Amino acid sequence: LDLKVLRITEEGLINAAVLSARMILAVLFSIMLSLTTTPLEISSSVEEIIGKLPGGKKRSSEIGMALSLTLTFIPLISLQTNRIILAQKARGIEFDKGSIFSRVKNSISVVIPVIATSLKKAQDTAAALQIRGYRPGHKLTCLKEKSWSLSDSILLVVTMLSILTAIIL
């Protein structure tokens, strides 16, 4: 199909289908991972994997902590953003009407408070870590020890097959 602005080919449709399938698999994998695994488990597993890589032992605890804090902050920032949007809508600000300039201006009324509250939460978290004696580079102890079971092996095989399928497609 050849339009003046757009040319649709069979190869383009196949590439679009493959890319869509990859994105859908990635989203499904992310959803499955987030529903079955806590952020702490994800970060400690990543920390353990990085620690086994050559030269990874030095920085693995810091990377694990950064990942854990990131996974913890994302839902908090999302919730805070939704609260601020609702508060601004209650004040009469409309985000989907008006010129592009007014939409950007109205969006700034959300972005600045989100950044300010995020920085405050980051400062509070840094203070809490410092008070509790967190020292980067030192191995942290775990409350629960991890163990490997048959279901873990099955899930690993299914996950690897899904990833390979997404790559091959």
Let me know: does 106 contact 88? Beta carbons within 8 Å: yes
| pLDDT surpasses 80 at 161 | yes
Tokens of 43: 């970060």
Residue 140 confidence class, pLDDT cut points 50, 70, 90: low
pTM of the model: 0.61
pLDDT of residue 100: 86
Helix (H, G, I), strand (E, B) or coil at 7: strand
pLDDT of residue 69: 87
pLDDT of residue 116: 95
**Average pLDDT over every residue of 47-69:** 79
Q: How far is CA 120 from CA 2, 86, 104, 117, 135, in A?
A: 54, 21, 24, 5, 21
| Packing angle, helices 60-90 and 39-52, rounded to 10 | 150
